Amino acid sequence: FLLPNDPDAKLLMICTGTGSAPFRAFTMRRQRSGSTAGGMTLFFGARSAKSLPYFGPLNKVPDHILKKHLVFSRAEGQPRTYVQDAMMQEQDAIAELLGDPATHVYVCGLKAMEIGVEEALANIAEATGQQWIALRDAMRSEGRYHVETY
């Protein structure tokens, strides 16, 4: 992944576990440059809070630079929740991002989350009258939709 050169680019970053590594680099670069114009939103999925060492550096990024959504799928005494569930809870904000030509979407982490994330993005886009497949394909061709799963 490469951070867009445009400091006004908005970033929607969705990850699990070690998939947070490129997003740590993105936040560090934006912090160093002093740019907060574009805004950054992160959905980070992990099994439990014990998995947070992966997230530690990102957790220190100030909220005015990075909007953080932590999601735990195996938290004791809690129902399983995944990044796509948290995305649906924030669908208005995500729909606004998807409708903005300055937004770049990044998905990084476990292959198992890719389908759920794609379905959530499709549901969010289509709820606001956007055709997800056409939007995703346009974003890909413009270099604004990036997926790296393993």
Residue 121 located in a structural domain: yes
pTM, two decimal places: 0.92
Residue 52 located in a structural domain: yes
Residue 63 located in a structural domain: yes
Indicate if the pLDDT at residue 55 is higher than 70.
no
Range of the domain at 98: 10-149
Note the pLDDT tens digit of each residue in 7-36. Answer: 899 999 999 988 988 998 998 888 888 766
Closest by Cα among 120, 134, 110, 127 to 12? 120
Q: What is the pLDDT of residue 95?
A: 97
Residue 1 located in a structural domain: no
Closest by Cα among 73, 61, 141, 54 to 113? 73
| Both tokens assigned to 41 | 């939103």
**In this structure, are residues 54 and 17 in contact, taking their beta carbons and an 8 Å threshold?**
yes
Number of domains in the chain: 1
CATH number of residue 72's parent domain: 3.40.50.80
Residue 57 — pLDDT band, cuts 50, 70, 90? Answer: confident
